[in-house]
Structure 1
């Protein structure tokens, strides 16, 4: 696979349907923009419909774009959105699990889950499971889950306190959520492999300059303007690993795409590796079982 891959390498997406969560801003918007420019029918699945419509307008009158309300912090909203998409879409070629929250103060979702774990992992777990029947009949369909280099930072799956009820550390909680994203992507690929039509791929943007950083600890926000030029990249560049995972004909199920530069902070997208614990099959399977129990979503593969 080339190490000089850019958005110019995205092949035609005419006839393909892409659903992207959190697509009204940042990485999701930049991903949607390129896919729409290549001819895809794009669904912006967003929490704020008004902002979603503004994003759709920015994509231009010629873009085939619709907006779907989706609040990943509410399983009721996840189920409602999935039902709407079943009513309006004949198929899905690309499901891109992009939306997320990072480093908020301790909060709970509507279902009582810690906000980062509930939104970043459980919301996407449920949404994917409820839409998988629209992907499975489609040859070459893909589920792309956006992870983070934060899965390396104080990250573990705390089965004894998944919702951080005993104590809360926003950095460690984010690390758990992004580690869960990776483990979900890997376990999903193992379950999809026998079907031979749909693949699961993970990607990460490095350190991209997006509004996701707004809840970072004060010391990081203070240092960011000084050090940003050294180890960050634009949102447009940060979206490239996701785009490559979604569209590169050479991409394989179970791989992880990220920037090629030192530390994975920035650079052109290529296949990278994640931490040893992220590949632990026993933890992946345990997390899957817990996720099915917490969301009450049972997958049609396994």
Structure 2
């Protein structure tokens, strides 16, 4: 089924994905319809539940753009098992809609493993890519860097990490306008011999890859901005990501404790509150929305289960940006031009 809206960007949003679904997804959908007419947004999920929230919130949304899905994959579900047992889930229905050519992107704040699995097997992997990767941006002293992988797969072999490096290079080049982004391999020391077997083998592959490989980096280099792309497996990357996201809340707690000690402290905090809020904004996940899954045949954006309406809105806008920059096509072209063999 195709939408009648001739908008340039047709994006599917999983309305049943997040912890607060479908409320936050519906609120975000209302904002997108109101403020972004260039986006033709499609919702997948329990149509009755979606329309109930719309009625309660006074949100106007075209009924034709709601695709009913009778099942929902919960955060506690095993990804592979859930996709088999729940073929009519909002995730599966949404991915199939995109795979059939009806839309250009899929966005979900649902079960990460399920979205990765559905994207990999329903949208399909790009030829020559064995494992997709997902990454996100991280603010640093020099501006911004990106981290790949942040949780698509917790264990990766050297050839997989090389694939992540190639795909992330194209992504950063296109999205952040960096002609030759610098790659650093995250490990326990700068010397090439530091790290385990996988790190050492990956170092050798990257050195001979023709990519702009800086060398090994340590955790302190992430915020220094030593490189543009921080490369690691999903286990390490997800820990770094979640730690970074916890920093703003921790700093706010410190300020609150400081303010509670005296009226003068409270006044000082009030004076700088707005400045601090703006300064910490780059660390707030709501403003970058979600992470892009690289290596599949369509744009797939994955967000936090706890995503707010603002975060979900920004997830959709990130999908739009990736469509506009033709990130998927450029990765396909680069891999086809210089194929690589990846092994499990």
Question: Is TM-score (shorter-chain normalized) higher than 0.5?
Answer: no
TM tier, smaller:
0.3 to 0.5
What TM-score does the superposition give when structure 2 sets the normalisation length?
A: 0.34
Q: Whose Rg is larger?
A: 2
What TM-score does the superposition give when structure 1 sets the normalisation length?
A: 0.38
